[in-house]
Amino acid sequence: MTNTITRVKKSVSLPREPGSKSPWRILTVPAQYLIWLLVFLLAVEVVLTFAGLGEEEIFALDRELGTRHMTDKSVTWRKEGYARSYFNHDGLREGALTKAKPAGTLRIALMGDSLVEGLQVPINETFGKELERKLCEELAQPVQVINFATSGYSTAQEYMQLQKQVLGYAPDLVLVGYNA
């Protein structure tokens, strides 16, 4: 007598306990966290942009000078005061400024460090703009005071900036000031 045993493979699936998660659900949880994290970070960026936060970055790298003011950049300054400003196409705060000096205008270039730069106050409250107003009254002629000052610049950087940028504006006088 021959005993033949036939084995039948049977796939058995165990019943899940209530509340247990499928393996696929577990794999998607990290992806869900990542998506929510990205949504949250995007929302924070939008809020900070509308609040003007994050606009204190003012420097771009420059091969010759080391750093220079960024161009076409809104700036909100909260250190040592509060001021909102804008750096134009040449990294200057003065708006509607041309390199060509208007006829009959006395042009003064200011150079120096953060004291002269004056980001702590609105542009119209800087001593450069105050000097411009007073000279216009006293001399009874148009005067432009252009502020080229940059925080942290050394005298060597100021000299290189004079050659690279300032002289292109054809100033009649260059004033240099530093915080002692």
**Is the pTM here over 0.75, yes or no?**
no
Average pLDDT over residues 77-105: 91
User: Where is pLDDT greater, at 96 or 136?
Assistant: 136
Rounded to the nearest integer, the mean pLDDT of the chain is 86
Q: What DSSP string describes 45-91?
A: HHHHHHHTTT----EEEETTTEEEE-SSEEEEE-TTS-EEEEE-TTS
